[in-house]
Amino acid sequence: MGKKKEVDDRFKKFGTVSFAAITKINDFVTSLEEGKVMGTRCTDCGMMLFPPRADCHQCLASNMEWFEVSGTGKLVTYSKLEYAPMGFKEDLPYSIAVLDYGDYKVFGRIASDVPEDQIKLGMEMKTVANELPNKQLNYVFQQIG
C-alpha cells in the first residue's frame, strides 16, 4: 500500500497550548520561527487581515499575500491575569492586550519584561515573535526604545 501521507500540522506550535494544528495559513508559524509576525493581504481587494486568513470575506477570493506586522500600534486595552485557565498556570502572571495598527488590530500578550507601572493605554508598542519556556511560539508586545 502507499506511504502514509505527511500531515502539515505546524500550527500546533502556536501558543502555550494550541487548540488547532491544521490550517491553510500554517506558514504563519514558519515565519514566527524566523522571527517575523505576518498577516495576510487580499491581492484582489487589498484588505489587510490580522489574524491572517486564507479567504477574503469581502470579495470571496482566496488570493492572499503575506505582509509583516511592522511599525508600532497603540495599546487599546489590556488585563493582567492573576489566575489562569487549565494549561497556562506556569505562565502567570501575564497580560493579554489589543494593539491598534490602524488598518488592523492585533490580539496578543504584553512581553513579560514590561513593568506594569509603565503600561499606559494609548502607548505605542511593537509586536515581536517570541519563544515560550516550553519551546512553543507566540508573539508579544514590547515597549519602544
**Cα separation of 145 and 117, whole Å?**
16
Residue 33 CB neighbours (<10 A): 12
Judged by CB under 8 A, which stretch of 2-10, 29-37, 61-69, 83-91 contacts other proteins? 83-91
Q: Where are the alpha helices (DSSP H) in 1-77?
A: 27-33
End-to-end Cα spacing for the chain: 58
Closer to Zn ion by CB, 17 or 45: give it: 45
- Among residues 100, 103, 90, the alpha carbon closest in space to that of 141 is found at 100
Among 32, 56, 125, 137, binds Zn ion (CB under 5 A): 56
Asked if 121 interacts with other proteins (CB under 8 A), we say yes
Site string for other proteins, 2-31 (x = CB under 8 A): ---------x--xxxxxxx--x--------
**Cα separation of 78 and 69, whole Å?**
19
Asked if 80 interacts with other proteins (CB under 8 A), we say yes
Asked if 84 interacts with other proteins (CB under 8 A), we say yes
Binding-site ranges for other proteins (CB under 8 A) = 11, 14-20, 23, 50-51, 76-89, 91, 94, 96-98, 104-109, 121, 138
